[in-house]
């Protein structure tokens, strides 16, 4: 059965109101082995501190956070657009923390989030998007399938949550 998802911009207050499901999604991804800035052990304290910082950044107009909700208003995924850039790169934004809970993967939620993210980017006058993701990850395949251009790969860039070294693949997309 196909589940209908809707994507909404999350304000500072909405992030704080959805702190638990946002922490669930982040913990699920990190504990599932995703390379998204954090190391194991990873639990509620670190996740809540992260989202509280993100909420402050949203309030400061540095980034936009999107949330994907199912028909029961349950949050299943999220992504961020970092719009605050140096004055010589104001046409550009970075994409960060595309996360879909593993109970809801392969239903097109990430694709939907990225589609809405591009609309938000255009509305903010952005026409170049940049991101990086762990080389060899499912996310790398996802971006390649969603029309992102591979700029290149940097070896030994980051650690996976379990401490294993990984390269990162840098992608860009012109809007
Ligand atoms: C990567 C991630 C966001 C994908 O979310 P998703 O909602 O499952 O993705 P979608 O259903 O929109 O996938 C669309 C297409 O991308 C590709 N794709 C998605 N996940 C994939 C995976 N793990 N492996 C290979 N291809 C994948 C497929 O072509 C898929 O289409 P299909 O299901 O018809 O084959 C999700 O697996 C995730 O949250 N991973 C952990 C966090 C992470 O690594 N985030 C990236 C940080 S940069």
Question: Over the stretch 10-25, which tens digit does the pLDDT of each residue have?
Answer: 999 999 999 999 999 9
Residue 100 CA to ligand 1 centre (angstroms): 8
User: Is 172 domain-assigned?
Assistant: no
Closest CA to 12 of 73, 64, 49, 77: 64
Question: Nearest residue CA, atom 17 of ligand 1?
Answer: 142
Which residues make Cβ contacts (< 8 Å) with residue 96, sequence separation at least 6? Answer: 63, 79, 80, 81, 82, 131
Neighbours of 170 (CB within 10 A): 17
pLDDT at 1 over 80: no
Asked, for residue 157, whether it belongs to a domain, the answer is no
Residue 14 lies in a domain: yes
Rounded Cα distance between 127 and 125, Å, is 7
* pTM greater than 0.75: yes
Give the phi and the psi of residue 159 in degrees, each rounded to 5: -105, 140
Contact 92, 107 (CB under 8 A): no
What Å distances lie between residue 103 and 29, 62, 109, 119, 122, CA to CA?
11, 30, 11, 26, 31
Residue 132: inside a domain: no
Question: Could you give the 3-state DSSP secondary structure of residue 60?
Answer: coil
Residues with CB under 6 A from ligand 1: 29, 34, 36, 98-100, 105-111, 133, 137-139, 141-142, 145
pLDDT tens for 116-169 read: 999 999 999 999 999 999 999 999 999 999 999 999 999 999 999 999 999 999
**168: Cα separation from own chain's centroid:** 15
In a domain, 53, yes or no: yes
Kind and range of the H or E element at 132?
strand 128-134
What tens digit of pLDDT does each residue of 23-80 get? 999 999 999 999 999 999 999 999 999 999 999 999 999 999 999 999 999 999 999 9
Return d(Cα 94, Cα 131) in angstroms, integer. Answer: 6
Q: Does residue 22 sit in helix, strand or coil?
A: helix
CATH number at residue 62: 3.40.630.30
For residue 27, what are the domain limits? 6-126
Per DSSP, the chain holds a count of helices (H) and strands (E) of 5, 7
- Quote the ligand 1 centre to 105 CA distance (angstroms): 7
In a domain, 39, yes or no: yes
Would you state the pLDDT for residue 4?
86
Question: Would the pLDDT of 2 be above 90?
Answer: no
Closest ligand 1 atom to residue 36 Cα is 47
Predicted local confidence at residue 122, as pLDDT: 98
Query: What's the mean pLDDT in 96-122?
Result: 98
For all residues of the chain together, what is the average pLDDT?
97
In a domain, 29, yes or no: yes
Confidence of residue 3 (pLDDT cuts 50, 70, 90): confident
Distance 79 CA to ligand 1 centre (A): 13
Torsion over CA: 162, 132, 166, 138 (sign):
positive
Number of domains in the chain: 1
pLDDT per residue as tens digits for the range 65-96:
999 999 999 999 999 999 999 999 999 999 99
Q: Is residue 50 part of a domain?
A: yes
């Amino acid at each position: 059965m196909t589940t209908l998802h809707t994507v909404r911009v999350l304000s500072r207050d909405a992030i704080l109101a959805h702190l638990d499901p946002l922490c669930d999604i982040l913990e699920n991804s990190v504990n599932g082995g995703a390379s998204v800035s954090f190391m194991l052990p990873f639990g509620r304290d670190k996740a809540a501190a992260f989202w509280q910082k993100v909420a402050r950044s949203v309030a400061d107009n540095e980034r936009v956070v999107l949330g994907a909700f199912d028909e029961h208003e349950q949050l299943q995924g999220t992504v961020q657009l970092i719009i605050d850039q140096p004055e010589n790169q104001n046409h550009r934004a970075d994409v960060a923390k595309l996360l879909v809970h593993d109970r809801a993967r392969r239903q097109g939620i990430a694709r939907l989030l990225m589609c809405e993210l591009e609309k938000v980017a255009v509305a903010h006058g952005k026409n170049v998007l940049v991101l990086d993701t762990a080389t060899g990850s499912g996310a790398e395949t996802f971006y390649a399938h969603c029309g992102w251009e591979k700029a290149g790969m940097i070896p030994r860039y980051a650690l996976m949550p379990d401490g294993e070294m990984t390269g990162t693949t840098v992608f860009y997309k012109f809007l």
